[in-house]
Amino acid sequence: MNKLYLWGIIIAALMLLFTYMSVAGSEGGLNGDIVNILAVAGAVALVIITVFVVIKYVRQMQTDTADGQLADEQWDGIGEYLNNVPTGWAIMFLLTMVWGMWYFIIGYPVNAYSQIGEYNEDTQAHNEKFETQYASITGSRLIEMGESVFLAECKICHGISADGIDGKAANLNKRLEAKVVKHVVENGSNNHLLGTEMPMPDRNGLFNNNTGALITDAEIDAVSAYVANGMRGAGADVFAGACAACHGEDGKGMEYVAPNVAAFTTELVANVLTHGKKGAIGQMPKFDRLNAKQKEAVGAYITSLSK
Amino acid sequence: MFHWLEKHPFFFAVGVFLVISFAGLIEILPNFAQASRPVIGTAPYSTLELTGRHVYIKNSCNACHSQLVRPFKSETDRYGHYSLSGEYAYDRPFLWGSKRTGPDLWRVGNYRTTDWHENHMKDPAGVVPGSIMPAYTWMFTNKADVDTAYAEQLTVAQFFSVPYNKPVPMKDGSAKVVKMGNSVAEANALALAEAQVIAADMKDQNVKDAVARGEIPEIVALIAYLNSLK
């Protein structure tokens, strides 16, 4: 037995002693716990294997002599053996290359995080939830939804109470104001209120059947007051003569011909939201961001305001 | 050759630099070039819109209002489609901003109109209860600086090939031509023609009179700019 083995045994014994002391010295010690026992057994094995592997290589360095063929290339006098690549290493190297290809082509692109991808997932989840919970609501719940959409999108111009903030936008608590009716009769209108292009002529195309002549200033004022008053009071004769042919005797409009001027309807409001509107007060933008159900809900809410 | 390189650290470093640069360039440049190309529907600013953009910057609107819609459901519900980098191709500089004291304005042209802006710039709290935005009454009297906007148009058309007077593809398949004048006088005439369209929708008589006289108040240019943000 030479000195090297003696030192190896002394170091191994010392390390085992430290292991024993640190385990035995700690609170509880091994404590009959299988995990603790395994850990200590592992530590003991590790110490013994390490010491004797180190001894093996130290001895090899002491006794080995260089043989084998050197490569032609030398680096500052340091040469390289012409050994074959170790098989295990070569296999791992090739596997790593295969994995690299996979990661480059499929692994990363398919699984990579994308902000837009997360957005699309969020939106889809939201839309599905909307479909299951809200797509078929009616009645008071529909009006409730309309109110919340109104407060988010519409109050900025029409005001919280839908009064139009002192004429800055239409007062939605009533169907039409006199100045709006007057503006439409004088200038005509083409606001897609029926969902399609359906122009109403200006005053030069409006005949009063009662008089057989074009509508006059006085008649415009009268019919404006009549419509603004909720189809009541003076002016009914002018309405019957000049407007009823398209808008109906009761002002409730005709499908594909003319919109309802007596009351709001859900379709009317939805069409305004889809196409926007330009009239006596100013221009209203279209609200394409709302989905069909939301538009219907706003229509239901606004219809409920003037009832 | 490699043996030689290993003995010359400087040239070895140059070689490493070339290899890494090449890898970087082929990864970054194509994507960058693609993303910074104007998207379909993005047109250069007209003379009056660019004038309004200068008013916007001059009054530091961008200190409180961002111009970047982030890809979150809550944002796209409120402001519309999230921003795409190509949409800023003609913004020099872009006005993304990093803080929203007021709302984002990148697509404000989609959901506000001339008359709303007029009411709002005169008295913000009158239309938005509780708003802390100050009134910008001087914009209704200050004259807009069309000449500087024209100078910018000339510059970007010449040095960055911004397509003025050329057809630009729109989303509906049509082509739009944004005109730029050949002289300062022509640029002013173009801006005035745009201003007349805006002023026709406004209520303020002083502004209407000013435009009728051939002047352009700042508010008209600013509204033209805001309406162009879509």
pLDDT by residue (tens digit) across A291-303?
899 999 999 999 9
- CB contact A274 to B (< 8 Å): no
- Domain ranges in chain B? 2-35, 47-228
Query: Does A158 share its domain with A285?
Result: yes
Q: How confident is the model at residue B1 (pLDDT cuts 50, 70, 90)?
A: low
DSSP per residue, chain A: --HHHHHHHHHHHHHHHHHHHHHHHSTTTTTT-HHHHHHHHHHHHHHHHHHHHHHHHHHHHHH----SPBPS--BTTB--B-PPPPHHHHHHHHHHHHHHHHIIIIIHHHH---HHHHHHHHHHHHHHHHHHHHTT--HHHHHHHHHHHIIIIIHHHH-TTSS-TTTTS--TTSS--HHHHHHHHHH-B---TTSS--PBP-GGG-EETTTTEEPPHHHHHHHHHHHHTTS-STTHHHIIIIIHHHH-TTS--BTTTB--SSS--HHHHHHHHHH-EE-SS-EE---TTS-HHHHHHHHHHHHHHT-
Q: Is the model's pLDDT at A237 over the cut of 90?
A: no
Residue B181, SS3 per DSSP: coil
Which residue range(s) make up the domain with A22?
Answer: 3-63
Query: Does A50 share its domain with A192?
Result: no
Query: Does A160 share its domain with A299?
Result: yes
Tell me what pLDDT residue A219 has: 87
Query: Does A282 share its domain with A179?
Result: yes
Assigned domain for A19 exists: yes
pTM: 0.79
Query: Does A267 share its domain with A151?
Result: yes
Query: Does A57 share its domain with A145?
Result: no
Q: Is the model's pLDDT at A118 over the cut of 70?
A: yes
Q: How confident is the model at residue A1 (pLDDT cuts 50, 70, 90)?
A: low
In chain B, which residue's Cα lies nearest the Cα of A122? Answer: B73
> Which ipTM score applies to this complex?
0.81
Query: Does A186 share its domain with A41?
Result: no
pLDDT by residue (tens digit) across A157-187?
999 999 988 888 999 998 888 888 888 888 8
Cβ contact (<8 Å) for A157 and B126? no
Assigned domain for A58 exists: yes
CA of B184 vs chain A CAs: smallest distance (Å): 32
pLDDT by residue (tens digit) across B41-63?
999 999 999 999 999 999 999 99
Average pLDDT, rounded, for chain A: 87
Greatest mean pLDDT among A69-73, A122-126, A225-229, B27-31: A122-126
Tell me what pLDDT residue B21 has: 94
Tell me what pLDDT residue A43 has: 86
Q: Is the model's pLDDT at B169 over the cut of 90?
A: yes
Residue type, A232: R
Residue type, A15: M
Which of B68, B115, B229 to mutate: most A Cβ within 10 Å? B115
Cβ contact (<8 Å) for B73 and A160? no
In chain A, which residue's Cα lies nearest the Cα of B130? Answer: A156
Q: Please provide the CATH number assigned to the domain covering B47-228.
A: 1.10.760.10
Kindly report the backbone phi and psi dihedral angles of residue B210, in degrees, each rounded to the nearest multiple of 5, phi listed first.
-60, -45
What's the total number of domains in chain A?
2
Which residue, A14, A33, A63, sits at the end of a domain? Answer: A63
pLDDT by residue (tens digit) across A276-295?
988 888 889 999 889 899 99
Which residue, A44, A63, A82, sits at the end of a domain? Answer: A63
Chain B residues whose beta carbon lies within 8 Å of the beta carbon of residue A156: 112, 116, 127-128
